[in-house]
Amino acid sequence: MVFSSLIFLYAFLPLSLIVYFLCKDIRAKNISLLVFSLIFYAWGEPVYVLLLMFMSLCSWFCALRVEYAESDRTAKFWVAISVVTDILLIGFFKYAGMFFSLFGAVPDFVSRVALPIGISFYTFQLMTYVIDVYREDAEARDSYLDVLLYAALFHQCIAGPIVRFKTISRELYVKRNTKDLLPGIIRFSVGLAKKTLLANPCGSLADSILATNGPLAGMTVLSAWLGALAYTLQIYLDFSAYSDMAIGMGKMIGLHYMENFNYPYISGSVTEFWRRWHISLSTFFRDYVYIPLGGNRCSTPRMLLNMFVVWALTGLWHGASWNFVAWGLYYFVFLAMEKLFLEKALDRTGIISHIYLILIVMFGWILFYYTDIR
């Protein structure tokens, strides 16, 4: 089920809102929200709801052990248990095929494994929950259902934004209002229009050029540029539309998710682009990977290594294919150059910096589009 489908628009969403607003207190509202979120996850692949419930159970248990740990060493142990469990599970369900392909044929039992809906998003959310409890940025929840609700919220499971526990816990469990019901409906409608009226036609045009023409060498120069431009527009409109719809649905019931896109194509550098593109993902890697590795408060070679790790992981997070790793490392190269010497020069070039950024992004999206690395 996707947000732009008729069954979601005319049945699932209205019914979930009606039941939600008929509930009188926040506990009842949360139960209705949890039930509809689990139904959403179970719609296409019921068995994988059990995976979501199991991963939430592990995070709930580990966070409580962290909260009541008698020493920092014990707390770190339970954080490690939680993070390793999450990584192993997402590694199997999302990346096992890619791993086995390094050694030849992929086993049948691996090739038959379907990718659970939203696993990339709820895995990161559960990791931030346990880590934030360890950092004392949030308090562990005594109720398992509270953690399951946080992980299972259907609003943002398809394309984000990645919701951090510490930023939403008060609205989710303590106090919530519906003053933003109308702005939420408007934001959802804008996202829906962006998806159906703009993103889908751009996607059809991109696929008709890039997918049907086969090898790149078989295209004309004009068709190659047109296909790249269409896909550049489609991928922004698509992802930002889903974020708009998620943010809008959250506002309808008094939940406020972070903005995820801020007009990234007006940027004048790759560094600025990644401050504006998929903000919840880039800030996640900054706060939970880059800074703990040492960030830029270290020697230049170590800083570059930290950036390399972050961008290899960023590419890998987007999909289980080597083209995504290449796409992430492609951005690492430009970000490293800007960090070392290029960014100050770009500040003085005006319109040239915007042309530079658009060309880099368009070429990058071609790496992203073709999953066959050859």
Torsion on CA atoms 107, 111, 117, 122, rounded to nearest 10 = 20
H or E stretch including 206? Answer: helix 200-210
8: closest CA among 158, 161, 210, 147? 158
CA distance 163 to 168: 7
Q: Is 318 considered catalytic here?
A: yes
Question: What ranges make up the beta strands (E) of 139-189?
Answer: none
Cα dist. 225→12, 189, 363 in Å? 40, 31, 10
155, 256, 278, 318: the catalytic one is 318
**Tokens matching residue 96:** 């096992």
CA distance 260 to 156: 11
**CB atoms inside a 10 Å sphere around CB 300:** 11
User: What residue type is assigned to position 22 of the chain?
Assistant: L
136: closest CA among 166, 164, 162? 166
DSSP string, 226-287: HHHHHHHHHHHHHHHHHHHHHHHHHHHTT--PPP----GGG-SSHHHHHHHSSHHHHHHHII
Cis amide linkage into residue 161, ω under 30° from 0: yes
- Scan for tokens 């259907």, then name that residue: 154
Catalytic residues: 318
